[in-house]
Amino acid sequence: MKQSIKRMLRILLLLVIPVYFYSCSDDDGGGSKILLPKTEGFFVFGTNTIAEQPTDIAARMALAKLDPAHGPAAVDSVYGKYMYIGANSEIQFALVNEDGGMLIGSADADEQNGLEAAMSVDDDHVIIGTLEEDADPITVTTEGLYYVVADLNEMRVVITPVKPQVVGDALADGSWTESISLPLKSVSKEQTVFEGPVEMVFGNGYKYRFNEGWASYYTADFATFSFLGVESYGAAWEAQHVDPGFFNENIPSFAAGNYTLTLTYTASTTGGEGTWTALATTDFSDFSMAIIGDATANGSFNGDGTGGYEAKTPTKSGTVFTWTWNDVPFLAGKEFIFLQNATWGGLQIDYAGATVSGTTISSGNIIDATAAPVSGPYHNFHVINAGSYDVTLVIDAATNAKTVTINN
């Protein structure tokens, strides 16, 4: 059996455009038929999942995402897929190439403790088994989102329930060794949401990881990428926006405060991997923001609570918070930013961290991203012409979008 699967595997070519034709295969030799796609590939399917038949386009598996810090970025014949599996469901696999197709299951798959089974996840419901041609489907008793790995080199299947945590030194009550769990909020075939409260400190980093481990599956040669970071800490900080993915760099915390972290998985309807999105929202009602810098008389960048211009709390409309300053006397050639409590360590908004607009005056806009910017990822607002200006800062807590409007 093992040699048969590996022989088929050596000539397996994944097609970019899945055009389906069908052939028939016996299900456990019992006479019932399961249709197999003639499109070459590796597929996972089962009852009460996003793909109930291997011919469903969502059944296609992609190669598992691997952590380049622990080996190669890709390994042929190791497939991975996040997928919803309903209670008491049965799943199995299909392998199709130019020689034909076969159904693959496992006769010995059972629940084990991940750490005892040499998986780096702390969970006693990890299903591990040996892959075999025409073996029984694998039974999953508990509903949830799972990460399914099929290693056709070792002929092993690992099915891990996804239970996310937040870990890092950005957490007031956590660290890189002590994580904070994100409870399950909702689960379905199409989308799964985890959400929970977390207190953050300013300027440090964190990651989302699964099952209190850094790899849902690993060997001596490679490890799956089972945590979410950002591609570039500096770029995320400058944009004041987070697009999480399977990256090694930490996610920056933009401000101290009590946050609701929402982590969402959306399944792909065309097969392969789905997408992860993350949102950190907070109630900014008590955030006192000040204009600090030398752009106002007696102003400074001290960041010690002094030298700020008119610290104010916002008005609130739904998830949108608005701070307004009228008749701000700006000085030409000087600079400013917005800083919570006029003190370093709070919410900080500079030119690069917001969408900026303003009216023009005789020599151009009041703000200029290129005129005397501060080195590094920070960019101050630069005043071109002196005058009295109305300034508005808006933060939408639902999207973390920040907008600054400056009018003469």
Write out pLDDT tens, residues 165-176: 999 999 998 789
DSSP letter string over 246-270? Answer: S-SBPEEP-S-EEEEEEEEEE--TT
Question: Using CA atoms, how far apart are residues 50 and 47, in angstroms rounded to an integer?
Answer: 9
Q: Which top CATH class is 164-282? A: mainly beta
Looking at residue 82, its pLDDT comes to 96
What is the bridge-based pairing of β-strands 89-97 and 41-46?
antiparallel
Would you say the pTM of this structure is higher than 0.85? no
Question: Using CA atoms, how far apart are residues 308 and 342, in angstroms rounded to an integer?
Answer: 6
pLDDT at 112 over 80: yes
Write out pLDDT tens, residues 265-299: 999 988 888 999 998 888 899 999 999 999 999 99
Question: Using CA atoms, how far apart are residues 243 and 276, in angstroms rounded to an integer?
Answer: 9
pLDDT at 97 over 80: yes
Query: Alpha carbon of 229 to those of 71, 251, 275: distances in Å?
Result: 18, 6, 13
Domain boundaries, the chain: 2-161, 164-282, 286-407
Q: What is the DSSP letter of 122?
A: -
Question: Using CA atoms, how far apart are residues 264 and 185, in angstroms rounded to an integer?
Answer: 10
User: Which residues have a Cβ under 8 Å from the Cβ of 128 and sit 6 or more positions away?
Assistant: 109, 110, 112, 117, 119, 156, 157, 158, 159
| Bridge partner list, 356 | 404
Write out pLDDT tens, residues 300-324: 999 999 889 999 999 999 999 999 9
Closest by CA position to 150, among listed 44, 254, 234, 253: 44
What is the bridge-based pairing of β-strands 401-407 and 355-358?
parallel
- Provide the Cα torsion 366, 370, 371, 376; round to 10°: 120
Average pLDDT, the chain: 86
286-407: which CATH architecture? Sandwich (2.60)
Examine domains 164-282 and 286-407 and report if their fold is the same: yes
pLDDT band at 360 (very low <50, low <70, confident <90, very high): very low
Q: Could you tell me if 218 and 225 are in contact, meaning their C-beta atoms sit under 8 angstroms apart? A: no
Q: Which top CATH class is 2-161? A: mainly beta
Write out pLDDT tens, residues 235-262: 888 777 888 999 999 999 988 888 999 9
Percent of the chain past pLDDT 90, that is, above it, reads 58
pLDDT band at 28 (very low <50, low <70, confident <90, very high): very low
Query: Alpha carbon of 90 to those of 137, 141, 176, 378: distances in Å?
Result: 6, 9, 37, 53
Q: Could you tell me if 91 and 50 are in contact, meaning their C-beta atoms sit under 8 angstroms apart? A: no
Question: Using CA atoms, how far apart are residues 384 and 135, in angstroms rounded to an integer?
Answer: 74
Q: Which two tokens stand for residue 156?
A: 């092993």
